[in-house]
């Protein structure tokens, strides 16, 4: 307790105020966000030096989730994040659409066209497409079975309303020249099974050969050749080349490669047809297998007023869908999600540009201005996408303190356990301790997410490397996560 009195007391009070003021200033300094020096901690600097990558190619941010920054390096530099861009897309969708959002695909007809005893629909069957990113062949089969339960066996034509999206078709070979790879699939308002067919390889040990089965069997799609049989021990996931060749007869997938019979039965997926053609062909095939017929074409149109639903399919909720997008890094699903976000506002047909504008709008509504952000297609499968480590850190921090945090965080891969991080960070200090999104392109390596440290504190971490030798950056990024986990 301070003494009271005459002249000396004024000096005491002034001294006390100075002490209290200094203490308050220290308290504010400790509690306020800290801008770390633009340098790597010595342990990380050594790990980076071992990669022989230049410092200019690397960006890093590490922060406690109270906002206190503990490390930063080139953090404001815009970089290509590869699939880490999916964090921006999925967070924006959770906030903009809500975790319970679903996609509904419907089969409809005018009541006066409903079938009579002969099972014939007396007018077009309409399909209202929703941009569902995960509509599977079995989901379409269930819809068609429901149609059969309504007594329909014969369709004069199918009219597909895909007006929710604009013309969003892409050249599937433009990114890396491999047009048959599923990750290059084009987005579409009506997409079935990602637009890919399954090639199932069945081993015939007696004949020392591989038998190839396609699912579904589609007209104008053929398979030529088979991988060469090998008797060595299975070295890992089989590698088969399936090159599409287009001619007057349709599309031929020419197979090549060598696969050990010890690997056993396996499947690969490849794109053979454009999305619209694939979906139409699959529907026709499934309907015919059910004994139904389609007399006329499958064409594009608009659902008229007055129609009534005959069958429908509702997708899983967005909170579940983003687990596939982030854990498995599914590119076409991310593209579909970006377009869906763009279509949430009135539009004549959402495009990639509408989706990117919607992302910026959501971020701004939650206090995030990222002027350097280039969303592009939302998947990260892009040479043009750009974001800084600072911006990703702010997004991760905002997401962690958001009501959608549980859904967002649970969509990320768990270190050494699942998703794209299942084979990384399996050490005792890091196994299961991080929720991460990884990113990989030819000249990009990136990682971002949350790490629970040994101290019990949780940190956000961002690391991005853009360089023609970025493939050497894996050990550095793993060291970054391990360094945070050890804090």
Antiparallel, parallel or unpaired: β 158-161 and 125-128? parallel
104, HSE (Cβ side, Cα atoms, 13 Å): 8
pLDDT of residue 122: 96
Decide which of 275, 302, 337 is a domain's last residue. 275
The residues, ordered by sequence, that sit 6+ positions from 292 with a Cβ below 8 Å of its Cβ are: 144, 147, 148, 152, 153, 154, 155
Quickly state the pLDDT bin for 332 (edges 50, 70, 90): very high
Q: What is the largest CA-CA distance in the chain?
A: 110
What's the Rg (C-alpha) of the chain? 28
Does some domain include residue 286? yes
Average confidence (pLDDT) over 326-344: 97
What's the domain range around 202? Answer: 182-275
Cα separation, 239 vs 261, whole angstroms? 13
What dihedral do alpha carbons 97, 102, 108, 111 form, nearest 10°?
Answer: -80
Same domain? For 294 and 188 the reply is: no
Q: Are 92 and 362 in contact (CB under 8 A)?
A: yes
Read off the pLDDT of residues 32-78 as tens digits, 9 standing for 90 and up.
Answer: 343 444 789 999 999 999 999 999 999 999 999 987 999 999 999 99
Same domain? For 146 and 65 the reply is: no
| Prediction pTM value | 0.90
pLDDT of residue 39: 86
| 361 phi and psi angles, rounded to 5 deg | -65, -45
Same domain? For 475 and 406 the reply is: yes
Same domain? For 136 and 227 the reply is: no
Same domain? For 472 and 387 the reply is: yes
Average confidence (pLDDT) over 235-259: 92
Same domain? For 389 and 357 the reply is: yes
Decide which of 257, 290, 314 is a domain's last residue. 314
240 C-beta neighbours (distance < 10 Å), count: 19
Structural domains of the chain, count: 3
Average confidence (pLDDT) over 250-264: 95
Read off the pLDDT of residues 340-355 as tens digits, 9 standing for 90 and up.
Answer: 999 998 767 999 999 9
Mean confidence (pLDDT) of the chain: 92
Does some domain include residue 6? no
Q: Answer whether residue 79 shows pLDDT above 50.
A: yes
363: domain CATH number is 3.40.710.10
Q: Are 184 and 173 in contact (CB under 8 A)?
A: yes
Cα separation, 389 vs 378, whole angstroms? 17
pLDDT of residue 345: 81
Which one has a higher pLDDT value, 104 or 37?
A: 104
Decide which of 284, 314, 344 is a domain's last residue. 314
Average confidence (pLDDT) over 410-436: 96
Same domain? For 410 and 395 the reply is: yes
Six-digit token string for 222: 């053929």
């Amino acid at each position: 307790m301070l003494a009271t009195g005459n002249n000396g007391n004024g000096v005491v009070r002034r001294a006390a105020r100075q002490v209290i003021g200094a203490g308050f200033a220290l308290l504010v300094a400790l509690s306020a966000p800290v801008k770390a020096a633009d340098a790597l901690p010595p342990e990380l600097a050594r790990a980076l030096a071992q990669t022989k990558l230049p410092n200019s190619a690397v960006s890093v941010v590490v922060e406690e989730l109270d906002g206190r920054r503990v490390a930063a390096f080139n953090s404001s530099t815009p970089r290509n994040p590869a699939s880490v861009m999916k964090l921006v897309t999925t967070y924006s969708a959770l906030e903009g659409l809500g975790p319970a959002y679903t996609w509904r695909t419907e089969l409809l007809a005018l009541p006066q066209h409903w079938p009579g005893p002969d099972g014939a629909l007396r007018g077009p069957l309409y399909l209202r497409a929703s941009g569902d990113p995960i509509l599977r062949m079995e989901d379409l089969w269930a819809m068609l079975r429901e149609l059969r339960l309504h007594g329909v066996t014969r369709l004069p034509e199918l009219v597909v309303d895909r007006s929710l999206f604009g013309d969003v078709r892409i050249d599937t070979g433009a990114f890396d020249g491999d047009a048959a790879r599923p990750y290059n699939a084009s987005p579409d308002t009506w997409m079935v099974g990602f637009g890919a067919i399954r090639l199932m390889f069945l081993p015939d040990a007696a004949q020392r050969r591989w038998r190839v089965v396609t699912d579904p069997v589609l007209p104008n799609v053929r398979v030529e050749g088979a991988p060469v049989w090998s008797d060595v021990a299975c070295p890992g996931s089989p590698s088969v080349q399936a090159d599409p060749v287009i001619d007057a007869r349709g599309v031929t997938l020419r197979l090549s490669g060598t696969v050990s019979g010890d690997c056993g039965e396996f499947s690969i997926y490849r794109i053979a047809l454009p999305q619209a053609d694939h979906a139409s062909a699959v529907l026709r095939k499934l309907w015919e297998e059910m004994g139904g017929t389609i007399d006329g074409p499958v064409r594009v149109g608009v659902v008229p007023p007055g129609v009534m639903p005959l069958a429908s399919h509702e997708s899983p909720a967005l909170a579940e869908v983003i687990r596939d997008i982030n854990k498995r890094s599914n590119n076409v699903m991310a593209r579909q999600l970006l377009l869906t976000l763009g279509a949430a506002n009135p539009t004549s047909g959402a495009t990639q540009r509408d989706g990117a504008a919607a992302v910026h709008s959501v971020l701004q509504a939650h206090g995030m201005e990222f002027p350097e952000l280039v969303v592009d297609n939302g998947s990260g499968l892009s040479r043009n996408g750009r974001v800084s480590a600072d911006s990703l850190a702010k997004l991760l921090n905002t997401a962690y303190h958001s009501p959608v945090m549980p859904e967002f965080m649970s969509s990320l891969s768990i270190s050494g356990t699942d998703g794209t991080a299942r084979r990384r960070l399996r050490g005792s200090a890091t196994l299961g301790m991080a929720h991460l999104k990884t990113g990989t392109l030819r000249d990009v390596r990136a990682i971002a997410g949350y790490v629970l440290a040994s101290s019990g504190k949780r940190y956000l971490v961002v690391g991005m490397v853009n360089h023609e030798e970025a493939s050497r950056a894996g050990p550095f990024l793993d060291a970054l996560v391990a360094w945070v986990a050890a804090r």
